[in-house]
């Protein structure tokens, strides 16, 4: 670990801190339908969309109606993407003449992009036409991100309002989010990335002969425009298989910084929006603090573990110390232009959020270094988290924290004046249950099956277990990053991970919306000094403990047979 | 009930009874109500079947398996024992109550019964159990009142010690606020006609017995929510353990059913699961011990949530009567002389006000009370006509009374009232006191300042309440000036002067509109609507039947400060549940460190690095964790029954304290406990 490395990590966190109130306040205004500086341009566009679609922008929805609208929208979008992949050979803008995508892969990909997972069982550059990439996948990058943010806003409205049945209009939230929050930054970000060398064209692939005189096909396409929404909407699906490690996606340290910044900016901003809309900015900052703590714990562990390197190599005489000329540590699967600190940081950021973009291979990390991304995912991706998804995810944990805290101070638990009652606890527990149920059950079935489960696994032993566990965690958590080492483009994995993504998204959303509806109907109880305050460091640390305990207690046995035992074995000279 | 002796936690009778009940509770239908313990029972049954299979297969060396199975069953029994203990304590109190409910004969009146003004009305003798609502019975001296009811005619002194524990008889009479009588109490003198207000089985005593026995115990809202949380956690751990087997098989280390069930039972929150119902019953029990009867556990919980307490001034904040606080002498009169005269005039005055004058004179000026019989004194008692009292002694005529009455007395004797007297009287009135003018024949001497005396320690209690975030509002019929001065002295947050029942109602509604929960006490019929509107309405047992039915609690002692106790009990109930839940979950950390290395050390010896407790063998490690898990339930029974220590402090401070004790403590304690058990069972060669 170097001072320079730490400085970069610190600068990154400070940038996120600085942008939090700006984006947060902006989103409050956008979703409260207050005036913003973008209105002169966007308001006419918005109006014409409503006119064309017949949406009444003043009508608010009950949470069930909101949920149905969201499900309908997602369902139809998913179907369109599935069909588009199946018929792309007949559609235009396909210079490479890619054929139809297989049904299981098309289902998996459609589920993946609809759920904001962007798990890619395929290589983009050799599977998807430019039209599929732009109209199919990139469209979902916007839509699924907007859906997530809309849901988070609906939840926050539920907390903020009192004795109201409705939690906003899904269509309005969706449109405003896309127009105001997603598009403007993407336009600016695309230009910024292009300035760094990210490609943006519609040309067929070039065939060149580099100096080693072996012919090489240079894949390219409309990358920059897709790249920025990949991070800004925490989608993570790369244009190329190598994702953000590819020089056409992420050429320079500056582009790397922009991409990492884009991943957490909205989610961090939402903590401020939470405080802003509920009238307790201090609460928003307390949640931010809890997230930042978990973020720092994660990045420290990865950085430390990767910088420490592999003791077996050290014993064999390899020099893994960091010097001015050598990055040192464990550089397997990492890009030299990013080095240890930025690889560790990217891995933490992408799994704290449900992004899944990668600039290094998590599979090649040291066991503990690789465990952190996995743990980040199974904790529910609530460390800032995916756009919107991180917010409603942490709100479920907040409900549980507040419930326990409320009992311990001798009152019926309440959260910002809303009583947390059995229905809310029930829904929160349902939301929390989805994760272990899907991840552990599917991993359990897979590791027992030598044919469909283990056949496409390249590593055995604890590392193999980590690879399968990571795949299902990534799918269920809608992360989309791959630990790799597992060929997931098989009928079994395409089907199960596809299912895991759908369950992990929508079975989480429905209980969450139910809580929002239930809280929105409640009276607001006046606060007093007998009310447990949700604005203090004590609250933040309680929240951290609840997140860690629920996650750790659930997954500790599985982790102990995966990365933990692998780490201990590595220290004793055995690797997998 | 207060005479129902304070039972020690490990009262032998109760422990014996609880031990008997334990087995009966094993019925799956009973167990299914408690999902956590039910899972333990199913797990125990599973290991038992596996054990029998192994035994019939003649597998040697089943010592570990037998012990695991034994301790798993013990875990179930301990959880049942905790509940049985709580119920046993309730039953012991119920038995005391039951003795009061003697099967008596009632004299049911026949025909027109009211208004005869006499106890010579025709009646028939029927068993008390056959009485129905609206029957009218006659109860004479020495007879038991056969059912709850309202006096419609007559006045009697009643011994209510059976329910209140207070041995002094109380007066009950028709009309007014003291007309309610309780079945099982006894008329000592005179006769009354009582209209029965409850059907048999629904009387006060019956409800009380059912409540303390836990028979009518319904889960309270917070308890239901907590149960859902615990059930959810149980399912999560069930998943974690069930899926561990495939992972273990993949890793080449398949586990036996004993080890898996042991891990499961250690992880699920058995501590709180086993103690949850005991906590609820014990909370109710604590209320009953303080002579408060709640109609539901819900009301007790609501008490813990209260934001605003409406407290009647008289009896709650101030002593029932005004007392002398100051002698204000007129110009040219020695203060001592005034005190002497005031004392003299009060020596025969047995009212609390009179006695307080005697005491004050003695305290301030060392004037001792004199035996007046020697001095041929003639007492002039207070009458509604004269509105003064005093004494004639050796030709002296000393009088004390209201200013105008004394003015007339002085004028009648040819004297006159000085101008500045009126100023003193007005000043005292304005400050909320009662001025009592003292005069000797023609000569006014000065004024005794009578004032409300705020109860000792009440200010501190209000401070405590404020720390807990509870506002106190004093309700009084006094004028705003008087009310303000008392409010300031007592340290209440707010007051309502010249309060009418409608004002009270408005205040409660307004508070509730702002999202605050309100608690109040009341006794009169005109309190009934407010009692019903309040979130926690505590009716005085001495009050009317209407009040008693409107409230959701009845205070058998009729002590107005009881409300504060009730709030504390409500809070303590929730805190105990929260603390034990936290403790239970925090315990899991140590159990993982005990069990996980033990499970896989045969395949991955490196995992022994996680064996931070240095437990001897894998078997001893797992067994120690299971034994600790079982024993901790019993160890925490006293805490569950007594409730966690309650301190008046802000929520933030309270949470910090409880997180430290039950959260951090919950992480640390099992590390120590499991290590000790491991040492012991290794020494005993049990594993």
| DSSP 8-state class, residue A105 | H
Q: A529–B467: do the CB atoms touch at under 8 Å?
A: yes
Query: What six digits make up the tokens of B112?
Result: 């027109």
Min Cα distance A97 → chain B (Å) is 43
Is the residue at A451 inside a domain? Answer: no
Residue B209 makes CB contacts below 8 A (sequence gap 6+) with B94, B97, B98, B101
Model-level pTM? Answer: 0.85
Distance, CA of A156 to CA of B352 (rounded, Å)? 61
Is residue B286 less than 8 Å (CB to CB) from chain A? no
Of A422, A525, A538, Cβ closest to residue B652:
A538
Is residue B662 less than 8 Å (CB to CB) from chain A? yes
Nearest CA in chain B to A414: B305
Query: For residue A414, is pLDDT > 80?
Result: yes
User: Is B331 a residue of the active site?
Assistant: no
Is residue B470 less than 8 Å (CB to CB) from chain A? yes
Is residue B333 less than 8 Å (CB to CB) from chain A? no
Q: Residue A26 has what pLDDT?
A: 96
Q: A410–B250: do the CB atoms touch at under 8 Å?
A: no
Query: What six digits make up the tokens of A539?
Result: 């609250």
Is residue B232 less than 8 Å (CB to CB) from chain A? yes
Of B243, B651, B655, Cβ closest to residue A529:
B651
Is residue B536 less than 8 Å (CB to CB) from chain A? no
Of B228, B247, B575, Cβ closest to residue A465:
B247
Query: What six digits make up the tokens of A433?
Result: 């249950």
3-state secondary structure of A416: coil
Of A430, A542, A569, Cβ closest to residue B659:
A542
Compute φ and ψ for A216, nearest 5 degrees.
Answer: -140, 135
Is residue B657 less than 8 Å (CB to CB) from chain A? no
Q: Which residues in B385-506 belong to E strands, given as ranges?
A: 388-393, 396-401, 434-440, 443-454, 471-475, 494-496
DSSP for B376-414 reads: T-EEE---TTT-EEEEEETTEEEEEE-HHHHHHHHHHTT
Choose, out of A367, A406, A409, A542, the residue to mutate when testing the contact with B (most B CBs < 10 Å). Answer: A409
Q: How many domains does chain A have?
A: 1
What's the complex ipTM?
Answer: 0.92
Residue A477 makes CB contacts below 8 A (sequence gap 6+) with A354, A377, A378, A380, A381, A435, A439, A504
Is the residue at A482 inside a domain? Answer: no
Of A523, A542, A568, Cβ closest to residue B607:
A568
Taking CB atoms within 8 Å and a gap of at least 24, the contacts of A198-202 are: A198/A223, A198/A224, A198/A227, A198/A248, A198/A249, A198/A250, A198/A251, A198/A255, A199/A223, A199/A224, A199/A248, A200/A224, A200/A225, A202/A93, A202/A95, A202/A130
First and final C-alpha spacing in chain A: 25
A417 contacts on B by Cβ (under 8 Å): 515
Choose, out of B221, B223, B236, the residue to mutate when testing the contact with A (most A CBs < 10 Å). Answer: B236
- A window 422-451, beta carbon within 8 A of B: 422, 424-426, 429-430, 432-433, 436-437, 440-441, 443-445, 447-448
| DSSP 8-state class, residue B373 | G
Distance, CA of B295 to CA of B287 (rounded, Å)? 11
**Active-site option among B54, B312, B478, B678:** B312
Is residue B590 less than 8 Å (CB to CB) from chain A? no
Min Cα distance B26 → chain A (Å) is 27
Residue A359 makes CB contacts below 8 A (sequence gap 6+) with A243, A244, A245, A250, A256, A259, A335, A338, A342, A343, A346
Q: Residue B5 has what pLDDT?
A: 45
Is the residue at A269 inside a domain? Answer: yes
The mean pLDDT of A384-408, rounded to a whole number, is: 92
**Which positions of chain B have pLDDT values less than 50?**
1-5, 215
Sign of CA dihedral A402, A404, A406, A412: positive
Of B225, B235, B655, Cβ closest to residue A403:
B225
Sign of CA dihedral B191, B197, B201, B204: negative
Is the separation of the CB atoms in B573 and B301 below 8 Å? yes
Query: What six digits make up the tokens of B671?
Result: 């590390």
CB neighbourhood size of B418 (10 A):
15
3-state secondary structure of A515: helix
B594 contacts on A by Cβ (under 8 Å): none
Q: B651–A411: do the CB atoms touch at under 8 Å?
A: yes
User: Looking at A144-148, A303-307, A478-482, B665-669, which range is the least confident one?
Assistant: A478-482
Torsion angle, CA of B311/B315/B317/B320, rounded to 10 degrees? 150
Taking CB atoms within 8 Å and a gap of at least 24, the contacts of A315-323 are: A315/A573, A322/A1, A322/A2
Nearest to A403 by CA among B223, B516, B664, B471: B223
B307 contacts on A by Cβ (under 8 Å): 525-526, 528, 530
Distance, CA of A533 to CA of A552 (rounded, Å)? 26
Query: What six digits make up the tokens of A364?
Result: 């090649």
Nearest CA in chain B to A529: B469
Is the separation of the CB atoms in B425 and B447 below 8 Å? yes
Q: Residue B211 has what pLDDT?
A: 65
Distance, CA of B190 to CA of B153 (rounded, Å)? 11
Tens digits of per-residue pLDDT, A490-521? 999 999 999 999 999 999 999 999 999 999 99
CB neighbourhood size of B685 (10 A):
7
Distance, CA of B315 to CA of B541 (rounded, Å)? 15
Helix (H) or strand (E) segment spanning residue A422: helix A422-448
Please calculate the CA angle B149-B152-B158 and round it to the nearest 5 degrees: 60
Is residue A545 less than 8 Å (CB to CB) from chain B? yes
- B window 88-117, beta carbon within 8 A of A: none
Q: A448–B250: do the CB atoms touch at under 8 Å?
A: yes
Is residue A572 less than 8 Å (CB to CB) from chain B? yes
Choose, out of B242, B244, B250, B511, the residue to mutate when testing the contact with A (most A CBs < 10 Å). Answer: B250
Is residue A487 less than 8 Å (CB to CB) from chain B? no
Q: Any alpha helices (H) in A234-280, and if so which ranges?
A: 253-278
Q: Which residue has the higher pLDDT, A325 or A400?
A: A400
Distance, CA of B129 to CA of B198 (rounded, Å)? 11
Q: A405–B655: do the CB atoms touch at under 8 Å?
A: yes
Q: A447–B236: do the CB atoms touch at under 8 Å?
A: no
Please calculate the CA angle B8-B11-B17 and round it to the nearest 5 degrees: 140
Tens digits of per-residue pLDDT, B98-143? 665 556 778 888 766 555 556 677 888 888 777 888 888 888 888 8
Residue whose token pair is 């107005």: B560
Distance, CA of B514 to CA of B529 (rounded, Å)? 20
Query: For residue A93, is pLDDT > 90?
Result: no
Is the residue at A480 inside a domain? Answer: no
Q: A549–B229: do the CB atoms touch at under 8 Å?
A: no
DSSP for A135-200 reads: IIIIHHHHHHHHHHHHHHHHHHHHHHS-S-SB---HHHHHHHIIIIIIHHHHHHHHHHHHHHT---
Distance, CA of B336 to CA of B319 (rounded, Å)? 27
Min Cα distance A64 → chain B (Å) is 23
Distance, CA of B17 to CA of B91 (rounded, Å)? 10
Burial status of residue A37 (CB atoms within 10 A of its CB: 0-12, 13-18, 19 or more)? exposed
Min Cα distance B572 → chain A (Å) is 6
Query: What six digits make up the tokens of A526?
Result: 């006046």
Q: B240–A404: do the CB atoms touch at under 8 Å?
A: no
Is residue B588 less than 8 Å (CB to CB) from chain A? yes
Is the residue at A108 inside a domain? Answer: yes
Q: Residue B517 has what pLDDT?
A: 87
Q: A530–B307: do the CB atoms touch at under 8 Å?
A: yes
Min Cα distance B378 → chain A (Å) is 60
Compute φ and ψ for A536, nearest 5 degrees.
Answer: -105, 165
Sign of CA dihedral A140, A142, A147, A148: positive
Min Cα distance B255 → chain A (Å) is 13
Q: B235–A545: do the CB atoms touch at under 8 Å?
A: no
Query: What six digits make up the tokens of B233?
Result: 């956690």
Min Cα distance B585 → chain A (Å) is 8
Which residue range forms the structural domain that includes residue A235? Answer: 21-276
Is the residue at A305 inside a domain? Answer: no
Of B471, B514, B574, Cβ closest to residue A411:
B574
Is the residue at A232 inside a domain? Answer: yes
Choose, out of A162, A282, A408, the residue to mutate when testing the contact with B (most B CBs < 10 Å). Answer: A408
Q: A568–B655: do the CB atoms touch at under 8 Å?
A: no
- In chain B, the largest separation of any two C-alpha atoms, in whole Å, equals 118
B570 contacts on A by Cβ (under 8 Å): 410
Tens digits of per-residue pLDDT, B425-457? 888 887 778 888 999 888 888 999 888 888 777
Is the residue at A190 inside a domain? Answer: yes
Is residue B663 less than 8 Å (CB to CB) from chain A? yes
Compute φ and ψ for B599, nearest 5 degrees.
Answer: -65, -40
Is residue A279 less than 8 Å (CB to CB) from chain B? no
């Amino acid at each position: 670990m170097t001072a320079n490395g730490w400085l970069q990590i610190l600068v990154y966190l400070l940038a996120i801190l600085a942008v939090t109130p700006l984006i947060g306040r902006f989103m409050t205004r956008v979703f409260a339908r207050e005036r913003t500086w973008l209105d002169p341009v966007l308001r006419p566009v918005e109006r014409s969309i409503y006119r064309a679609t017949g949406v009444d922008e003043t009508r608010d929805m009950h949470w069930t109606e909101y949920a149905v609208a969201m499900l309908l929208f997602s369902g139809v979008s998913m179907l369109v993407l599935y069909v588009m992949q199946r018929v792309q050979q007949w559609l235009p803008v396909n210079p490479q003449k890619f054929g139809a995508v297989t049904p299981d892969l098309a289902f998996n990909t459609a589920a993946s992009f609809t759920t904001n997972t962007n798990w890619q069982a395929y290589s983009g550059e050799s599977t998807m036409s430019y039209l599929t990439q732009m109209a199919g996948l990139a469209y979902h990058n916007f839509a699924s991100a907007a859906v997530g943010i809309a849901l988070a806003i609906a939840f926050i409205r539920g907390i903020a309002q009192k004795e109201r049945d409705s939690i906003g209009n899904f269509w309005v939230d969706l449109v405003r989010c896309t127009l105001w929050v997603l598009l403007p930054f993407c336009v600016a970000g695309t230009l910024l990335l292009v300035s760094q060398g990210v490609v943006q064209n519609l040309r067929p692939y070039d065939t060149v002969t580099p100096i080693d005189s072996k012919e090489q096909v240079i894949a390219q396409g409309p990358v920059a425009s897709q790249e920025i929404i990949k991070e800004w909407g925490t989608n993570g699906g790369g244009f190329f298989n190598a994702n953000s490690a590819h020089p056409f996606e992420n050429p320079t340290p500056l582009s790397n910084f922009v991409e990492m910044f884009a991943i957490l900016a909205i989610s961090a901003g939402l903590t401020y929006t939470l405080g802003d809309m509920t009238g307790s900015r201090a609460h928003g900052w307390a949640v931010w603090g809890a997230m930042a703590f978990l973020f720092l714990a994660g990045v420290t562990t990865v950085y430390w573990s990767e910088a420490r390197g592999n003791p077996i190599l050290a014993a064999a005489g390899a020099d893994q110390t960091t010097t001015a000329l050598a990055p040192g540590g464990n550089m397997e699967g990492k890009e030299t232009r990013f080095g240890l600190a930025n690889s560790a940081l990217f891995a933490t950021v992408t799994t704290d959020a449900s992004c899944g973009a990668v600039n290094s291979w998590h599979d090649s990390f040291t066991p503990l270094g690789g465990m952190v991304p996995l743990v980040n995912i199974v904790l529910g991706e609530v460390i800032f988290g995916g756009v919107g998804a991180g917010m409603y995810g942490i709100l479920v944990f907040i409900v549980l924290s507040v419930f326990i805290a409320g009992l311990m101070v001798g009152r019926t638990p309440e959260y910002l004046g809303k009583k947390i009652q059995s229905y809310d606890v029930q829904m929160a527990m349902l939301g929390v249950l989805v994760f272990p149920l899907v991840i552990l059950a599917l991993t359990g079935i897979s590791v027992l099956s030598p044919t469909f489960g283990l056949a496409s696994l390249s590593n055995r032993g604890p590392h193999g277990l980590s690879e399968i566990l990571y795949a299902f965690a990534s799918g269920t958590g809608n992360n989309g990053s791959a630990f790799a080492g597992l060929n997931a483009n098989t009928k079994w994995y395409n089907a199960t991970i596809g299912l895991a993504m759908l369950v992990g998204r929508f079975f989480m959303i429905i209980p969450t919306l139910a809580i929002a509806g239930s809280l929105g109907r409640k009276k607001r109880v006046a606060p007093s000094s007998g009310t447990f305050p949700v604005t203090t460091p004590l609250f933040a640390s309680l929240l951290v403990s609840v997140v860690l305990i629920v996650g750790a207690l659930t997954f500790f046995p599985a982790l102990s047979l995966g990365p933990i035992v692998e780490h201990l074995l590595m220290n004793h000279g055995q690797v997998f | 009930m207060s005479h129902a002796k304070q039972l020690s936690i490990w009262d032998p009778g109760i422990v014996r009874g609880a031990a008997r009940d334990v087995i009966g509770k094993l019925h799956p239908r009973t167990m299914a109500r408690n999902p956590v313990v039910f899972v333990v029972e199913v797990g125990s049954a599973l290991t038992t079947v596996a054990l029998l299979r192994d035994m019939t297969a003649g597998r040697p060396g089943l010592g570990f398996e037998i012990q695991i199975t034994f301790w798993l069953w013990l875990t179930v029994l301990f959880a049942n024992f905790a509940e049985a203990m709580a119920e046993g304590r309730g039953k012991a109190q119920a038995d005391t109550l039951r003795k009061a409910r003697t099967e008596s004969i009632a004299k049911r009146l026949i025909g027109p019964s009211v208004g005869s003004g006499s106890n010579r009305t025709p009646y028939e003798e029927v068993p008390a159990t056959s009485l129905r609502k609206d029957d009218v019975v006659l109860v004479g001296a020495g007879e038991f009142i056969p059912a709850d009811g309202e006096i419609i005619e007559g006045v009697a002194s009643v011994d209510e010690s059976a329910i209140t524990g207070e041995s002094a008889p109380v007066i009950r009479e028709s009309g007014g606020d003291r007309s309610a009588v309780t079945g099982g109490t006894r008329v000592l003198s005179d006769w009354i006609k009582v209209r029965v207000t409850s059907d048999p089985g629904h009387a006060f005593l019956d409800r009380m017995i059912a409540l303390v026995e836990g028979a009518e115990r319904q889960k309270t809202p917070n308890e239901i929510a907590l149960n859902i949380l615990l059930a959810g956690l149980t399912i999560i751990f069930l998943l974690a353990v069930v899926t561990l087997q495939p992972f273990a098989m993949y890793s080449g280390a398949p586990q036996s059913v004993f080890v898996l069930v042991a891990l499961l039972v250690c992880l699920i929150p058995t501590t709180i699961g086993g103690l949850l119902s005991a906590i609820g019953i014990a909370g109710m029990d604590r209320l009953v011990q303080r002579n408060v009867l709640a109609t539901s556990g819900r009301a007790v919980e609501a008490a813990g949530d209260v934001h605003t307490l409406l407290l009647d001034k008289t009896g709650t904040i101030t002593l029932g009567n005004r007392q002398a606080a100051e002698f204000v002498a007129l110009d040219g009169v020695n203060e001592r002389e005034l005190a002497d005269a005031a004392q003299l005039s009060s020596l025969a005055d047995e009212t609390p006000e009179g006695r307080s004058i005697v005491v004050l004179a003695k305290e301030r000026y060392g004037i001792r009370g004199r035996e007046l019989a020697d001095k041929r004194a003639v007492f002039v008692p207070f009458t509604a006509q004269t509105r003064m009292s005093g004494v004639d002694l050796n030709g002296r005529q000393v009088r004390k009374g209201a200013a105008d009455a004394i003015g007339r007395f002085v004028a009648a004797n040819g004297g006159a009232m000085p101008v500045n007297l009126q100023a003193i009287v007005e000043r005292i009135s304005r400050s909320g006191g009662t001025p009592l003018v003292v005069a000797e024949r023609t000569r006014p001497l000065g004024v005794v300042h009578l004032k409300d005396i705020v109860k000792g320690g009440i200010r501190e209690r209000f401070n405590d309440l404020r720390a807990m975030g509870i506002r106190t509002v004093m309700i009084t019929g006094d004028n705003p000036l008087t009310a303000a001065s008392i409010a300031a002295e007592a340290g209440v947050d707010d007051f309502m002067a010249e309060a009418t029942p409608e004002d009270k109602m408005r205040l409660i509604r307004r508070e509730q509109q702002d999202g605050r929960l309100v608690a109040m006490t009341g006794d009169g019929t005109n309190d009934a609507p407010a009692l019903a509107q309040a979130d926690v309405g505590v009716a005085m047992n001495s009050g009317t039947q209407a009040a008693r039915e409107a409230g959701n609690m009845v205070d058998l002692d009729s002590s107005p400060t009881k409300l504060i106790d009730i709030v504390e009990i409500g809070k303590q109930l929730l805190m105990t549940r929260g603390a034990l839940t936290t403790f239970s979950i925090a315990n899991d950390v140590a159990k993982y460190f005990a069990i996980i290395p033990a499970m896989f050390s045969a395949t991955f010896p490196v995992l022994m690095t996680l064996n931070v407790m240095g437990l001897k063998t894998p078997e001893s490690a797992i067994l120690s964790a299971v034994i600790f898990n079982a024993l901790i339930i019993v160890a925490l029974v006293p805490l569950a029954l007594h409730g966690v220590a309650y301190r008046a402090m802000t929520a933030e401070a309270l949470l910090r304290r409880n997180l430290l004790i039950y959260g951090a403590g919950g992480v640390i304690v099992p590390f120590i406990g499991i290590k000790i058990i491991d040492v012991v069972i290794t020494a005993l060669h049990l594993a």
